[in-house]
Amino acid sequence: MSDDLYQGQHRSSSAEFKLITNASLTPDMGVRPDDMKLLLTELNSLIHDQLEIHYVAFLESLTQLDEEATRKTFCDFSQTLDQHRLFEDTSILPLLIPGTDIDAAELARISGDHTIIERTLARVTNIVDAIFTAKNQRRTLVQQLSGLVRMQGLLEHHTERETQFFYPILDQTLSQNQKNSLAQSLREAIDQTPSGSE
């Protein structure tokens, strides 16, 4: 996977974030048809951008061995991740018919990613506990670096999969009413997401 591709296509600045979430997504506010076509894909990307920001803030605190800040930033990350994953599992994935709307194997890969991400989140929780209860915290941190980086790789991979192969199908397949309803829920999730640290 190319970082350039990922960054070029999916990153949104905070200015764009505000523009999209506050102004441009309701039909009665003059939204162009092109915007609506990419509605769910773009909203999903914004949530994933927030996840990445939260995980970086978490790693910054952790590598400073600041336990209070680490617990806070990890809580922000894990809550945002859990809520988004559960929403997709319960309210979005079931909307597509495997073999008709979407390749069955592709849908299974999205679901499988969620299972792996959930397992990895539990693993990172254990790593944080291990570091802050260790006698030599810095050494334990260094020993666990690969486990910490694994989450970033998983999310990057999953973001690309959803942005390339899943959300565009939703945008093309669902009725406008379904899309508006899902967009409302995704926007609420974005609004409730704690702001990331600078």
- The footprint of Fe ion (CB under 5 A) covers 44, 88, 162
CA nearest to 162, candidates 4, 9, 15, 3: 9
The nearer residue to Fe ion, 62 or 174, going by C-beta atoms, is 174
131 or 167, CB closer to Fe ion?
167
Shortest distance (Å) from residue 164 CB to Fe ion: 12
For Fe ion, give the closer residue by CB, 131 or 170: 170
Q: Which is nearer to Fe ion, 55 or 141 (CB)?
A: 55
Q: Which one, 49 or 162, has the nearer CB to Fe ion?
A: 162
Minimum separation from the CB atom of position 92 to Fe ion (A)? 8
CB of 166 to Fe ion, least distance (A): 8
**3-class secondary structure per residue, the chain:** CCHHHHHHHHCCCHHHHHHHHHCCCCHHHCCCHHHHHCHHHHHHHHHHHHHHHHHHHHHHHHHCCCHHHHHHHHHHHHHHHHHHHHHHHHHHHHHCCECCCECHHHHHHHHHHHHHHHHHHHHHHHHHHHHHHCCCHHHHHHHCHHHHHHHHHHHHHHHHHHHHHHHHHHHHHCCHHHHHHHHHHHHHHHHHCCCCCC
Using the minimum distance from each CB to Fe ion, give the nearer residue, 74 or 167. 167
CB of 48 to Fe ion, least distance (A): 6
- Minimum CB separation from Fe ion for residue 80, in Å? 11
Sequence-distant (≥ 6) Cβ neighbours of residue 166 within 8 angstroms:
102, 106, 107, 110
We find the least distance from the C-beta atom of residue 117 to Fe ion, in angstroms, to be 8
